[in-house]
Amino acid sequence: MADQPHNVRRDGSTRTGGGGGDPGRRAPGMLIGRVRGVPVYLSPLALVFAVIIGSLLISPNRDRLPGVADNRLYLLAAITAAGFVASLVAHEIGHCLTALGFGLGVHAVTVHGFAGFTEIEPEPQTPAREFLVAVAGPAVNGLLAGAGFALMTVVDGYTQPGIVILDLTMMNLALCVFNLAPGLPLDGGRLVVAAVWGASGDRLRGIRAGAYGGFAVAAALALWALWAVLAPGSRFGGLWLLGLAVFIAVGANQLLHQTRIRSRLPGLSAGRLARRTLPVEGGVPLAEVLRRARESGATAVAVVDRDGTPLKVMNGSAVDALPEHRRPWMTVDEVSRTISPGMVLAAELEGEDLLAAVRSTPASEYLVTQAGRPVGVLATVDLVARIDPGGIAGTAAQR
């Protein structure tokens, strides 16, 4: 239902891995297959949702197929529910194949019941590609609905196979139409993004327009839910619509928040954010290191060898957690983190690339280099303070 980039998360979905994605990343559900090497997952929520759909079909099937045994009705409901989940999977595979056709990376496809996510990185580079990737999912459901209507011309709609085909046809038609609603995080919201982006040349303006469209769609669903709750016999449907409205509103709000963050990224480089750094050898007592840092005005510390090559970066949060009376008896090496390749950032790295690099290797501090030489340390808390002041509380323990 929503194509989602890996580096900037559109819908707050779980990052995938483990069972077939990137090593070290927990799988969000059961791996059911691969499409051109991309793992496709079915979350436990999808199975729960399938059971709910199947249970809701029992009574209508009994009315439409009088005299049919209950075990047969249960089987027909199960087949229809499984077909509905398969339709969601096909929808996401439509996004996946289109993105792959443009040379974009797809990390995983996950279906969570009424919602599905396709993790795409990088994002589509043009409004036209944004449009085509977004429309591919609803188009698959539209094709499935069209195939269903074609089958209905040769299959009696009052027979058991006909009932299943009719239900799946209407479900795919509903998925197609609903996902084209003009609001993020729905695919129709991505179409709004593409249109505004194409007209203005500003992708972020398109995302803001799509997010506001999401609020409008959520409000319309909430009003529909209220009417359904008040109508006799429609309370469950009303509650379901209300949950859907909340899902869309939350997703739109997250995306609006992300546009604010991304609007602050241009011109923001690792070199400009790097703190003045004190180089010391690892055997120096921590208390002495902190004294030297205060005297020199340094707010970061790099542990170096005798040749001056940085080996570690002092972990500010580890220092803060250490009682002051223990600091003279601890070496700086003991409260420092070994510099891994992902913790070395070029001073020229800026904007989206800087944010992606930090997200790929989470740490509290990073070594900043220029022409291969260390020039300072970037503290994550400084980056967060510049791009997301509201999120600074979550990293306040880091120095």
Verify that 10 and 51 share a domain, yes or no.
Answer: yes
Verify that 25 and 134 share a domain, yes or no.
Answer: yes
Which of 248, 263, 278 terminates a domain? The answer is 263
Verify that 337 and 235 share a domain, yes or no.
Answer: no
Tell me the C-alpha to C-alpha distance, in Å, between residue 249 and each of 100, 112, 119, 205, 392. Answer: 29, 18, 20, 18, 24
Query: Position 374: which residue type?
Result: P
Query: How many angstroms separate the CA atoms of 194 and 189, rounded?
Result: 9
Q: Tokens standing for 395?
A: 């990293």
Please give the pLDDT value at position 5. Answer: 42
Count of beta carbons in the 10 Å neighbourhood of residue 308: 11
Query: How many angstroms separate the CA atoms of 156 and 163, rounded?
Result: 8
Verify that 127 and 254 share a domain, yes or no.
Answer: yes
Domains contained in the chain, number: 2
Count of beta carbons in the 10 Å neighbourhood of residue 199: 12
Please give the pLDDT value at position 25. Answer: 60
Verify that 203 and 308 share a domain, yes or no.
Answer: no
- Of 267, 296, 257, 295, the C-alpha closest to 376 is 296
Verify that 279 and 258 share a domain, yes or no.
Answer: no
Task: Classify residue 159 by burial, with Cβ atoms within 10 Å: 0-12, 13-18, 19+.
Answer: exposed
| DSSP β-bridge partners for residue 17 | none
The residue whose two tokens read 């996004």 is 95
| DSSP β-bridge partners for residue 31 | 41
Which residues in the chain come in under a pLDDT of 70?
A: 1-25, 233-234, 390-399
Which of 214, 246, 263 terminates a domain? The answer is 263
Global pTM value: 0.76
Which of 263, 293, 322 terminates a domain? The answer is 263
Domain residues for 298?
270-395
